Structure 1
Amino acid sequence: MTATALMPSEASQITPPVRPPMSRERKQWLLLALVLAYGVALAVRLRNTAFIDEALYINAGNAYLDHWVNGRPLGDAGAFFSGMPALYPVLAALLDSVGGLYLVRLFSLVCVLGTAMALYGTARQLWGRRAGLLAAATFMLSGPVIFTGWLGTFDALVIFLLALGLWVGLTRRGYPSAVVLGGVLTLAALTKYTAGIFVPVVLAATFVLGFLGARRALVAAGVTLGLLATAWTLWGESLARDVAFTTTARQALSPTTTGALLALVGDHLIFLLLLAAVSLLLMFRAGDRRLLLLGSGLVLASTALPVGQMILGEAVSFEKHLAYSVMLLALPIGWGLARISRYPLMVTPVVMAVLIMALFPLVRADTMYRWTNVRSVVMAIESDPQGGLYISSATDALDYHTRDLPGIAWETTFELYFEGEDRIRAAVGDERYQTVILRSSSVGDPDQDAAQAVFLDALEESAAYALAFEPFPASSAPGDNWLIYTRD
């Protein structure tokens, strides 16, 4: 058999295959991937030395590992933490031992991505793919979320566990999933005690809109209470102490005004709160009481942490805690934007709303990431590493970054300040410290500022201590300099 060549006239009649148009589902998966990639890009561009909480948790986790493996005394490592020190801090220490601070922060980023996917899955199961996409975008396109996603603290993991709890409670069926839900909520509450206030929220959502509603919610509540009771039996004394110190009996560590905290809420959440209000109005008009109850409950719960800190007048962790609010607002906003987009000619306003959300983390995440950088101090210490006891207002971060230098032990100024003026002057007179590292600016608390003024005055009067380096900037704020005194 011989092959016959096509004549030019025949070849011209052959048309190339037409590629089928991209399906709507594939388009939405592509858009979701773009949103997540945008969030990742915003997070990994942030740069700074270890935040005080990152260093504190990793150092405590290493102390626990050393205690378990080598039997060294634990001391007060992990005392007065906002979560069980044997959970996240140990995990952070393990990650740090493998990949350093970058890997610890990468774990937080994975948790944030997991939260976005949990919100996507929840909204998609309940209201469709478009609502899922918009819920995930609402969460991911937020300054507090991007900030938390590149910070090695409890919060990203706890937010993921809460979002996972919503997904299990609202989309899964049967009693085994209720048992899983109870375990997830217990882990969230023990990882960070503040998460306990959101446990009833997730259980209520399961009761209102979940499959088998009341029965699964009761099973999950029973499992949660049983596991928490077991933890209380085993570690009740330390849990009671830490919960009281960090939540129920907390004193403001960085007091500020309600107006200043309201301004931060406005910076980060005003647009989302407006969208949430519109969504609740649409839920009311839709006439679905269960949907309205779910949306109202999530929006109300989103105000719990910021309102609590406003009552306390506490600025510490305020912006970071707004990431919890964003997670809770994401589901009702996702539903509302999806609903609006189905009205004639309303797709464009929804797209514009998403683009507006995307602008916020460009600036706000950078602003939150500008804590005091200790790189210059670390370089100064490494240039002439003298053994002995060091003291600083940034002890945890400096201890983390200088842990490979032999012979250096660290003490925090806060412990000395609590001892009073006479003990501060006595410590300088007795030449207790090899090196003293302070910032010239306020530490945010009037009592500690007064104690630091006494400390600086005693150092200036002492013949044993002198500035080892000319003051150099600690931040971009005017007059905020590092002061490094060494014993002659």
Structure 2
Amino acid sequence: MTTTENPATEDPASSAGWYDAESTLQLRVPFARGPQPAPGYTFDEISRAEWVLGRMPDAGWSAEPGQRRTRVSRALLVCLLLAQAVLSLRLHNSAFEDEALYVYAGHAMIDHLFHGAPDYGGFASYFSGSPVLYPVLAAWVDSAAGLTGVRLMSLAFMLGSTALLYSFTRKLFNERTALLAAGAFSVTQSTLFLGNFATYDAMAIFLLALTAWILVRVAPGHWALPLAAAPVAALTVGVKYAAALYLPTLAVLLVLVAHERLGGREALRRGAVFTTGVGILLGLGVLTTDYLQAIRSTTTERAHGTAPLGQLLWDCARWGGLLFALACLGTVLYARRAGLGEVPGGPGAAPSRRWRLALGAVLSGTALLAPAYQIHLQTSISLHKHIGYGLLFAAPMAGVALTRLMGAHFRFPQAVIAVGVLALTFGMSQSAQNYGVWPDTGRLIPELAKNVRPGQKWLGQPHEAPVYYLSNRGLTDYTLWTSIFYIDYTGREGRHLSGPEGYRAAIEDGWFDGVVLDWSDQPGEVQALIRDELRRSGRYRLATALIYRTSVGSGHFEIWLPLPAARTR
């Protein structure tokens, strides 16, 4: 649009969005709605027109990422990973009983596998993962860097999971969605908690993410390439048996990605190849090991608990509800419209609505698997950890929702900022609370070190942490400790006693060289029985009481020692 007015006499117009180009005045706004002045209008007539900024074009983004866009997105990913690392490392506590047990078991397995020591722990019969995989790796790291090094290994696994999530989400959608998905996953309480927790879970989540990354990348390629992911998927199940729950999601994800590029027949072919490969490897693993009983007792036939349904639903909602709600929103929005706003596609480039709905439903629905299984079992044990497995798969659809909320060209960043602040607040507070549930044994271990001697028999709760810390000093080992959960005691008459009778007889006979009790606000029946028997027998005295506080209450450790000349056996 031009006007015949002399631009030199219209200085205010120049500051109002006009510029001088070859003695004409031209509007800077590329698209406008409202009255459109025709050629020949005077400047005053044009300035009185009502101009409204229209929809910004998609020219700022191209379908294929450039080098600058790739560098910027990777730099932002590094910032996310650094923030995740800091938030995980801020958590502090002594070894949890599972951490101590797994690391100690790894040392025992190393002695058994490489030095001919007897396999006295029987870990393969009740561990929820193979004792020769994660525990051995954790023990090797522990030998070099202690528990801190093992926890740092978990942090590396969780950072790797976030990076792989970014990568395969970028492959499915684009950089912005990938960054938002990685950001949402990186601040969940399970991610932050597991980033500083030495158990199977961080390694298993990393292997799941690695499997998904491989499958998404090789799906359009040769039909045999999915076999490359089969060993990783089988290893994931070996590390944590419950990870088998997510194998169907991986197979369906492969089929969907291949279907979008190659069609239904080729997609099913690749899915069958992957499923067959994983099935063969898992079958060989079951046939060549004695882990079947552990798989049944810890996973497929696990004993039911008594946790109320309302409490389980509330825990699921507060630990994963926000990301799951975002994933559901992303599924709905993605099914309604294929374009993500900031990355334009050509005609016919968008996948079908049915495909989009299937992808969103599979990824989002995976977040429900662990909660549904634990609700079925009526147990909240490790729910705060297990919920993170499904959130890994739901995160891409959460990224889609956040992308849509933000709009093209960061039009509504305040919506994403508000959601991000809420997610960060939940993740930080919940991870800190869950990390402070168990009592710190920092004061207990030095007291025990003064009294425990090699070869002595002890009764303890907790006993895993003392065994881990004191075995490093050569003072004790796993076989010398009895827990409050099981006892097999041979009485004076040669009878094998278990349960309450076993504890009573062993204490009455002065069998133990010391007893450790964790006396919390709500002591269990066995702890109360042991304490009463220690007092009644007259063979033990309370030597030390150490007060502690946790995120859910308070309590104290009690150390009971035999009276002089009290032992008879």
Normalised by the length of structure 2, the TM-score is 0.77
In the other structure, the counterpart of 1:14 is none
Match of 1:463 among 538, 543, 554: 538
CA drift at 1:95: 0.9
Change in 2 beyond 3 A, CA 1:187/1:374: same
Distance 1:119 1:107 in 2: 18
CA drift at 1:399: 0.5
CA RMSD, 1 decimal = 2.0
Match of 2:244 among 168, 179, 196: 196
Runs of 4 or more above 6 Å deviation: none
Match of 2:303 among 224, 245, 251: 251
Matched, 1:279 2:299: no
Change in 2 beyond 3 A, CA 1:479/1:54: closer
CA drift at 1:290: 1.5
Counterparts of residues 283-302 of structure 1 (less than 5 Å): 283-286=334-337, 288-302=353-367
Tell me which structure has the larger Cα radius of gyration.
2
In the other structure, the counterpart of 1:396 is 464
Q: In the TM superposition, what whole-angstrom CA distance separates every residue of 1:62-106 from its partner, at most 9, and x where no partner exists?
A: 111101122111021343111111111111111111111111111
Match of 1:426 among 505, 508, 514: 505
Distance 2:205 2:545 in 1: 43
Counterparts of residues 15-30 of structure 1 (less than 5 Å): 23-30=68-75
Contact 1:389 1:433 (C-alpha < 8 Å) held by counterparts: yes
- Matched letter for residue 240 of structure 1: L
Matched, 1:305 2:370: yes
Match of 1:231 among 285, 288, 308: 285
2:125 is paired with a residue whose SS is coil
Distance 1:230 1:476 in 2: 44
In the other structure, the counterpart of 1:362 is 428
Counterparts of residues 49-198 of structure 1 (less than 5 Å): 49-75=94-120, 76-172=122-218, 173-198=221-246
In the other structure, the counterpart of 1:374 is 441
Distance 2:332 2:551 in 1: 44
In the other structure, the counterpart of 1:215 is 269
CA drift at 1:475: 3.6
In the other structure, the counterpart of 2:517 is 438
In the other structure, the counterpart of 2:526 is 451
Matched, 1:416 2:477: no
Distance 1:454 1:475 in 2: 24
CA drift at 1:151: 0.7
Distance 1:278 1:284 in 2: 10
Change in 2 beyond 3 A, CA 1:117/1:475: closer
Distance 1:482 1:314 in 2: 27
Match of 2:555 among 455, 467, 480: 480
- Matched letter for residue 128 of structure 2: S
Identity %: 29
Contact 1:122 1:166 (C-alpha < 8 Å) held by counterparts: yes
Q: In the TM superposition, what whole-angstrom CA distance separates every residue of 1:428-449 from its partner, at most 9, and x where no partner exists?
A: 01111111001122778xxxx2
Q: May I ask how many residue pairs the two structures share in their alignment?
A: 460
- Matched letter for residue 219 of structure 1: V
Contact 2:540 2:562 (C-alpha < 8 Å) held by counterparts: yes
CA drift at 1:28: 2.3
2:88 is paired with a residue whose SS is helix
Match of 1:320 among 366, 385, 398: 385
1:402 is paired with a residue whose SS is helix
In the other structure, the counterpart of 2:50 is none
CA drift at 1:27: 3.0
Distance 2:451 2:499 in 1: 31
CA drift at 1:412: 1.7
In the other structure, the counterpart of 1:15 is none
Which stretch of structure 1 is more off in the superposition, 476-485 or 155-164? 476-485
Change in 2 beyond 3 A, CA 1:476/1:130: closer
Distance 1:405 1:462 in 2: 32
Contact 2:327 2:396 (C-alpha < 8 Å) held by counterparts: no
Change in 2 beyond 3 A, CA 1:317/1:478: closer
CA drift at 1:476: 5.9
Q: Give the number of the structure whose residues are more often helix, by fraction.
A: 1
Change in 2 beyond 3 A, CA 1:412/1:442: farther
Change in 2 beyond 3 A, CA 1:42/1:377: same
- Matched letter for residue 282 of structure 1: L
1:375 is paired with a residue whose SS is coil
In the other structure, the counterpart of 1:35 is 80
Distance 1:176 1:117 in 2: 26
Distance 2:452 2:473 in 1: 7
Change in 2 beyond 3 A, CA 1:304/1:476: closer
Distance 1:295 1:104 in 2: 35
Distance 1:248 1:81 in 2: 13
CA drift at 1:337: 2.0
Q: Which consecutive unaligned segments of at least 5 residues does structure 1 have?
A: 1-21
1:250 is paired with a residue whose SS is coil
Bigger RCO (CA 8 Å, 6+ sep):
1
CA drift at 1:352: 2.8
In the other structure, the counterpart of 1:5 is none
Distance 1:443 1:337 in 2: 43
Contact 1:372 1:475 (C-alpha < 8 Å) held by counterparts: yes
Distance 1:267 1:383 in 2: 43
Distance 2:333 2:375 in 1: 30
CA drift at 1:415: 1.4
Contact 1:207 1:214 (C-alpha < 8 Å) held by counterparts: yes
Contact 1:374 1:474 (C-alpha < 8 Å) held by counterparts: no
